[in-house]
Amino acid sequence: MTERIHNSDQITGSVGDARHHDSALKHVTGQARYVDDIAVPNGTLHLAVGGCNTTAGNIISINLDAVRNAPGVVAVMTADDIIGTNDVSPLHLGDDPILADKQVRFHGEAVFAVLAQSYRAARAAARLGHIETTQTTPVLTVDEAVAAGAELSERQEMARGDWRAALAAAPQRAEGTLRIGGQDHFYLEGQVSLALPMEDGDVHIHCSTQHPTEVQIAVARVLGRAANAVTVEVRRMGGAFGGKETQAAQWAALAALGAVQTGRPVKCRLDRDDDMILTGKRHDFRADWQVGFDNDGRILGVDVNFASRCGCSRDLSDSINDRAMFHFDNAYFFETVHISSARLRTNTVSNTAFRGFGGPQGTLAGERVIEAVARACGRDPLSVRKLNFYNEDDNRDVTPFHMKVEDFCLHELVSELETNSHYWARREAITAHNAANPMVIRGLALTPVKYGISFTNTALNQAGALIHIYKDGSVHLNHGGTEMGQGLLMKVAQIVAEELQIDIDRIQITSTHTGKVPNTSPTAASAGSDLNGMAARNAANTIKRRLIAFAQDAYGVSDDAVTFLPGRVRIGEHTLTFDELVMQAHLARVQLSATGFYRTPKIHYDRKAGRGRPFYYFAYGAAVAEVAIDTLTGENRVLAVDILHDVGRSLNPAIDLGQIEGGFVQGMGWLTTEELWWDETGQLKTHAPSTYKIPTSRDRPEHFNVQIWAAGYNREGTIHRSKAVGEPPLVLATCVHQAISDGLASLIDYQRVPPLDAPATPEAVLNAIDDLRGAA
């Protein structure tokens, strides 16, 4: 058993301690080693890819003579040089070639790879290829794909109740279209892999990836080998945000192929421009909706049709679009509802996972519906939101996918934020301000978040861990989770420290390694701590039980007489340090190494029927944003933000606060400044920080108040009753878009919802103002 002593006699780094990130000092001093910092062996080659200027067409011929004769070039690879299968698709074999061989599907797609003695030589040579293609008219936008019927996979639907009848009979109705832009991951560290050739054609890859096992399997497929011939290792990433879940595999596979073919180490590191052009992004959506409601604003029926730009292949688009459907309801009970989703093929780079995984797009569309209802009823949107909240007491607690919501806490959380942020006083002040200042107006919005936690692909909800306790009492910790700056490794180490009652500095955090923990799931879906933390605790508990059994036998006591205290173990009348007990157990030949495993309980989902329980629980939060809008230029600024977020019982409040702040700002960027723009030929023109604007330190609201909800608690048996915190905070930024829309609505006395798309760039704001004034 473990006994917690609530005084100075405690371990350092236990669960609930607000400890800094394990690499925080290394980050700010430049000592943290990323893949590109690893000292490469002599003879390492550098890889760059080349393509052509065609956006869509068939390959007729490939002439690479100039490439091969370029200075420093050692080898050139095309699809013909691939040993195994030319594919790194995560789910749909044949969908994602590492090098195009028959057709070009988007502008810049890789057709060949150059291996050279230097990075610059490889990039220079990659520009010299001559590729002849046919040219077909590309399909680039959602609207073009809809018109062409270019559906990538089967359309999905979910429904509950007779929604058609409800819409027809509703006292009031509204409808509209919302266009939602994509987003580039813009991680600080780009895609990078270092492949080291081993004996017998095996390969060891240092890779910046969220999914080591997927990279392992994809590389093995390309090499025509079994998975045990490929080892993937990840110490840390310089950001990922979903962009390194599947997208890392192509670059790792090319590096591995080059290493095996040349017998020399190969590094593939994408330049920032190439990274933005060649890797997938957040899906952009079009949401066409209609809603029926009563005169108070209670929603009686709603219908939404999503259409998303998936790009040239399926990647994870099916699951991403599924999650958009799952989150359209957000915090609201719809008496009858119909949701459909079209997944569209376009001649653009294949879109992929991004923090929130479709959930933010679904939520934004749902909040537009709430806003429209509020304007039609002449009520403040917050009042309509609260009116439509899930409510177990009124049997208003079943989602559109027929899952019962059993842990809804937004009534209490939103009420607390509403009071503490002085929402209604600010509403009055803003109304007065706008009446007196029509040039620079203000807007205010409070929006909630209900975010489902679990992989919607049920098979991914599993994790493994490996723990060694050395005979001096120090601990080696390994598990399947990857570190991308979010503090996962620190949290899991705290869980192990708590279980063994030892100081956290006795635990060695190690690289994620497919040779130590196999068959890992991606570190994604906000489930990293839930899954890997539980697996690590199970591994630690296995060794702990062995130590307890040894102590019983060695000292002749019962198991309840063995108590783990901070740094020591009480065994009846005896007390040993943890290190002493470990040494005695070792000398008695007790095994001090164990694996741990965990799989999420209760979850299931029938995709064809559109019903089930895809989520173990929900994470909740709410945020208030106040904005200023220049009606002459369309420029806007976030002035103040108040956030109250539910993380359950926090494993590490310092790290959780950082995730909430960072997630919100990233979401704010998506909804205001981060615009992806392709020209009419299909070339991405926003592929550098000069043209693609992420938030900077100057965009941080002057008033930025972030609080963890003190009453937070997880009803489900998660690790220490904590809740996931990676993705839900990004969705909180919906309040920024809603606040801008609120300000624009004041120009017409809040009579209708402004036609404001996302992101709310100055151009989008001016277009909305022109529409409002034209209609007036």
Catalytic residues: 727
Residue 637 and residue 105: Cα distance in Å, rounded? Answer: 38
Within 10 Å of residue 179's Cβ, how many Cβ atoms?
Answer: 16
Whether residue 351 contacts residue 311, with contact meaning beta carbons closer than 8 Å, is answered with: yes
CB 348 within 8 A of CB 682: yes
Q: Do the Cβ atoms of 333 and 398 come closer than 8 Å? A: yes
The four Cα atoms 761, 322, 334, 176 give a dihedral, to 10 degrees, of 40
Which residues have CB under 8 Å from 397's CB, separation 6+? 333, 390, 391, 404, 405, 406, 408
Say if residues 33 and 39 touch (Cβ distance below 8 Å).
Answer: no
State the virtual CA torsion across 217, 241, 755, 700 in degrees, nearest 10: -170
Question: Torsion angle, CA of 427/429/433/436, rounded to 10 degrees?
Answer: 120
Angstrom CA distances, 244 to 206, 275, 518, stand at 13, 11, 19
CB-based contacts of 537: which residues, under 8 Å, 6+ apart? 495, 496, 499, 596, 719
Neighbours of 95 (CB within 10 A): 16
Is residue 65 within 8 A of residue 136, CB to CB? The reply is no
Q: Which amino acid is at 237?
A: M
- Distance of alpha carbon 641 from alpha carbon 705, whole angstroms: 6
How many C-beta atoms surround the C-beta of residue 696 within 10 A? 11
What residues pair up with 115 in beta bridges, in sequence order?
47, 75
Pairing, β 604-606 against β 130-133 = unpaired
Compute the distance between CA of residue 614 and CA of residue 604 in angstroms, rounded to an integer.
5
Q: How far is CA 235 from CA 121, 305, 509, 715, in A?
A: 28, 42, 9, 33
Tell me how far apart the alpha carbons of residues 217 and 226 are, in angstroms, rounded to a whole number.
Answer: 8
